[in-house]
Structure 1
Amino acid sequence: MTIEYQLDQRGCAHIQLSREQVHNALNEQVIAGLIAMIDRAHQEQAKAILLSGRGKHFSAGADLAWMKSMANNSREANLADSAQLAALMSTLNSARMPVITVVQGAAYGGALGLIACSDIVIAARNAAFCLSEVKLGLIPAVISPYVIRAMGESQARRYFLTAEVFDAEDALRLGLVHQISDEPEQVAEQLLTQILKNSPQALIAAKQLISDVSGRPIDAELIAETAQRIADIRVSEEGQEGLAAFFDKRPPSWVS
């Protein structure tokens, strides 16, 4: 089994890379499996996703056997493989529900794409990160839009070109990681508990808001659009319930 999936009683989808023997390296099966599991979380209307890797490492990047096979493939076959990886990044990045990722040990190559596409990333103190592609004569092309957005162009100019390993403190400084902990799973659980107290529809709308507003100029069009969004959600079913619960000093209906 390359991917483990469980929807817990709270409605959180646990998706875990499960190739511990090869440090959870990515290959075509893992990539397809992750896409399928994220789609499953949507189908089951999961309230959040917790992404992790079994064992000592989150993911060592591309599987060596997979890389070797791709090197012997045609350009067309390589393009198909790359398109599948691009589909994974897009699927994770556009997930409707919050995505929390726990990182321990190695997070190399494509693993940084998964991290950059997550909403919240908690790293163990032993986490080590590397954009290692140029060492192999390659470039981090497919993950670049997400990683550059996370760390910024200036830092990408360094780490894309040096392929140096950097630690959790550097990843925190660069914006790839939100928090470092000796107990990252425990922190992730605390964050999940906090998130699951919030309106499911508001969480979806908040994620979409970030995506739609990020990078846009603050002009009359954006101002009008954001005013419309808050008006729409105020009169929505969950918006009405949330406000009523606040004024009645009671838990809203989505809090069990």
Structure 2
Amino acid sequence: MSMELIEVARDARGVATLRLARAEKHNALSAQMMTELEAAARALAEDDDVRVVVLAADGPTFCAGGDLAWMREQFGMDAETRKRESRRIATALDALAALPQPLIGRVQGNAFGGGLGLIAVCDVVIGVTGLKLGFTETRLGLIPANIGPYVIARMGAARARRVFMSARIFDAEEAVRLDLLARAVAPEELDDAVEAEVRPYLSCAPLAVREAKALLNTLAGTVTPAQVDLSIDALADRWESDEARDGIAAFFEKRKAPWV
């Protein structure tokens, strides 16, 4: 399929960069973008010449989360259609999590909501100092459901409890303590720091790296289809609530939600 919102580039070393290319919309995850992201990840998984994948983004924002215009459209859908739409981000995250190659995150700017799901599925993530992150869904009357299984797998429940429900904005240094980021570096050091994560893999046997990652995932416990389905159902139920309707309406009308 042709890509408009996702770019994929490969270098001679076998390093592929998977880039979110919707900078004018802060790389918000629209339906089209999630479909393209899933397709790109699945194609990279089948490419034996790719040894490492870097997940990056254009513009000043890494990912603002789910596209709210797409989310608002879901109010006019029946429950089953809404679940199918909701599954888009779950399948995109699953495709990234299932990459047999190491996935290195390059986070050059702020990330919220679904953007933290993208961070959570990476093996190692380097972010810049000064960025802001947050699970902002509950401010809108929603819940961080579809990203939840991957976030909990990454952070662990104890660390997730500090930020998962409160929509509190936190910085890169705290993200390191929460195990979302491996390191926080100055913006001018970001590319060198990402390269320092990539380079060691290029001296390793490619199939051994893939098998080591597969073993690690098996031993650690991967996200299950049942967990994904439970999360999709939880979000679908939340969409039916008055809070969700009030929260999304307040956002678009640039006013405070009733609970603020």
Residue 77 of structure 1: CA displacement?
A: 1.6
State the partner residue of 2:18: 15
Query: 1:191 and 2:197 equivalent?
Result: yes
Residue 200 of structure 1: CA displacement?
A: 0.3
State the partner residue of 1:54: 58
Which one of 100, 103, 110 corresponds to residue 106 of structure 1?
A: 110
Residue 186 of structure 1: CA displacement?
A: 1.8
Which one of 28, 32, 35 corresponds to residue 29 of structure 1?
A: 32
State the partner residue of 1:159: 163
Which residues of 2 match residues 169-248 of structure 1 at below 5 A? 169-182=173-186, 183-214=189-220
Residue 28 of structure 1: CA displacement?
A: 0.8
Distance 1:68 1:215, change over 3 A: closer
CA–CA separation in structure 1 for the residues paired with 2:51 and 2:102: 7
Q: Give secondary structure in 2 for the equivalent of 1:25.
A: coil
Residue type at the aligned position of 2:151:
V
State the partner residue of 2:239: none
Q: Give secondary structure in 1 for the equivalent of 2:59.
A: coil
Whose RCO is larger (CA < 8 A, sep 6+)? 2
CA–CA separation in structure 1 for the residues paired with 2:99 and 2:125: 15
**Any idea what the Cα deviations from partners look like across 1:98-152, whole Å, max 9, x if unmatched?**
0001112211001111111100100011221110111111111111111112222
Does the aligned pair in 2 maintain the 1:7–1:14 contact within 8 Å? Answer: yes
| TM-score (normalised: structure 2) | 0.80
Query: 1:92 and 2:96 equivalent?
Result: yes
CA–CA separation in structure 2 for the residues paired with 1:132 and 1:146: 16
**Any idea what the Cα deviations from partners look like across 1:203-256, whole Å, max 9, x if unmatched?**
10110111111169xxxxxxxxxxxxxxxxxxxxxxxxxxxxxxxxxxxxxxxx
Which one of 3, 6, 15 corresponds to residue 9 of structure 2?
A: 6
CA–CA separation in structure 2 for the residues paired with 1:75 and 1:126: 40
Q: Give unmatched runs, 5+ long, in structure 2.
A: 223-260
Residue type at the aligned position of 1:199:
A
Does the aligned pair in 1 maintain the 2:44–2:99 contact within 8 Å? Answer: no
Sequence identity of aligned pairs in percent?
A: 38
Residue type at the aligned position of 1:31:
M
CA–CA separation in structure 2 for the residues paired with 1:185 and 1:63: 28
Which one of 61, 70, 74 corresponds to residue 74 of structure 2?
A: 70
CA–CA separation in structure 1 for the residues paired with 2:46 and 2:9: 13
Q: Give unmatched runs, 5+ long, in structure 1.
A: 217-256
Which residues of 2 match residues 124-163 of structure 1 at below 5 A? 124-163=128-167
CA–CA separation in structure 1 for the residues paired with 2:76 and 2:195: 43
Distance 1:149 1:198, change over 3 A: same
Q: Aligned residue pairs: how many?
A: 216
State the partner residue of 1:239: none
| TM-score (normalised: structure 1) | 0.81
Distance 1:58 1:64, change over 3 A: same
> Rg larger in 1 or in 2?
1
Instruction: Give me the CA root mean square deviation.
Output: 1.4
Moved over 3 A (4+): none
Residue 159 of structure 1: CA displacement?
A: 1.2
CA–CA separation in structure 2 for the residues paired with 1:6 and 1:215: 31
Residue type at the aligned position of 1:129:
L
Does 180-189 or 22-31 show the bigger shift? 180-189
